[in-house]
Structure 1
């Protein structure tokens, strides 16, 4: 019997408004789309923005261009297929003719230009004026363990292109981004005043029981069981029953944190 792997909680996301990050990826997707539309008009291309996602990480090794801005450390990694595709539209060659050749000075300049434009879109989405960054080549992103990676897919159907762009944001950039997203939220209603400690002198202890699985067998099936028999079951970690004194009051999800199973995402039962 195999059971689903519990969700692992990332400590870097605890207590932070990470649920608002889709606002940033949506704004960044629009900025990238406008940048690509400029290339489309200029070179009669058909570039499109695919999925844009943001997750903790430091990125894989590769030919990164890194630099520092007012917001913090930024890094950009382009797949060569995207740069060759742009060269093909600008100079009339086909990507297949140049993908096995060594990188030329023209390709390096175009790569640096495109990285600056992409990082300018990130600065725009962060609410900062675009800076002319002094980018340096590096085999790694240079991000600390608190860094996050934007992974964007660029498509060009006419060339059957699907290329990935990686943009690294360090911890300072993420702090600025999360503060900016949180500041844009409507103010919360004031919390009810906490009763004085004297009113909590008597506390009600409630014992919670989690029912991970319940299997129904007929009496005949039960009597037919023998040592070594297997009973097929399926564990649903998103619908664990939480009982109080035998009564199911909540459902919850099962997650793993520091080697322990925890209950999260409580919901009232109907």
Structure 2
């Protein structure tokens, strides 16, 4: 029984990552639609418009990083790895250098072949351009990404599925962020905090709703039934009115006229 309980505990246990505790990870999904639009705009300008392609983002998701990038790009504010699936690269290569009306179907032999120097150059060029798109998304200044010579740890990844509407060919782009770049991403959803505490006294900030009983008029039921829309009932204001907060009468005040508006003045504590 003890072994069964321990095994169940180990199966249901969760390893907490101290780097993510207390951080607004649940809000990051709110960025997906905006980032999806940015990538779609990139695909349209890079392939769809010049080559009559029909590439688009079919879905986008974010998660703690599981990728182990071979190459990082130094973006000055952090490190980014841009991983692209072979089907995506071969399809974009076909559009750029071959396809006229309809792209060539990708075979298993194509996927198992060694990448050509042209494919590798295209991969490097697209990675740099996508890094620029992501920098703009983070509201950072544009720079020329450079290969990083430093070792860095992956913190977060964004998986983007690309579909070619012509033949439903799927491809993938994966953006892997290190901790510095992940912090910048979190700032996109973090609520701004005031650096300086308010110096205003509590009683100056506290707002209380009060109401005033200016006058009352008694009518019989017959008089009420005879009332017509727009009819004016004459009333006479008392010299002083009762001021209430909720149901409690706290003050009395004099009723005065100022530029056609009724005002209260000379407040006194109620008896």
- Structure 1 position 49 matched with structure 2 position 53: no
Residues 109 and 182 of structure 1: CA distance in aligned 2, closer, same or farther (over 3 Å):
same
Within 1, Cα distance between the matches of 2:194 and 2:171?
A: 38
Match in the other structure for 2:95: 89
2:162 — aligned with what? 154
Does the residue aligned with 1:75 lie in a helix, a strand or coil?
A: strand
Q: Where do 1:179-190 residues align within 5 Å?
A: 179-183=187-191
Q: SS in structure 2 opposite 1:14?
A: coil
- The 1:159–1:135 alpha-carbon spacing in structure 2 relative to 1, beyond 3 Å, is farther
Q: Deviations over 1:13-40 (max 9, x none)?
A: 3211122212333322111010011110
Map 1:111-190 to 2 at 5 A. 111-135=123-147, 143-144=152-153, 147-183=155-191
Equivalent residue, structure 2, for 1:26: 33
CA distance in structure 1 between the partners assigned to 2:151 and 2:54 by the alignment? 33
Q: SS of 2:80's equivalent? A: strand
Runs of 4+ more than 6 Å apart? none
- State the distance in 2 between where 1:159 and 1:116 align: 27
Gap change, CA 1:100 and 1:82, over 3 Å in 2: same
Give how far 1:92 is off.
2.0
Cα separation, 2, equivalents of 1:174 and 1:129 = 16
Give the length in aligned residue pairs. 182
Q: TM-score, normalised by structure 2?
A: 0.58
Structure 1 residues 91 and 180: CA distance shift in structure 2, 3 A: closer
Shift of 1:10: 4.7
Preserved contact between residue 156 and residue 162 of structure 1 (Cα < 8 Å): yes
Alpha carbons 2:75, 2:146 under 8 Å: kept: no
Q: State the distance in 2 between where 1:7 and 1:33 align.
A: 39
Deviations 1:186-241 (A, max 9, x none): 99xx9xxxxxxxxxxxxxxxxxxxxxxxxxxxxxxxxxxxxxxxxxxxxxxxxxxx
Alignment TM-score, normalising by the size of structure 1 = 0.58
Is the contact between residue 68 and residue 74 of structure 1 (CA under 8 Å) also seen in structure 2? yes
Show structure 2 runs of 5+ residues with no match. 1-7, 199-271
Alignment partner, residue 216 of structure 1: none
Give RMSD over aligned pairs: 3.2
By how many angstroms is 1:184 displaced? 5.4
Q: Please show how residues 71-82 of structure 1 align to structure 2 within 5 Å.
A: 71-82=77-88
What are structure 1's unaligned runs of at least 5 residues?
191-270
Alignment of 1:189-208 (within 5 A): none
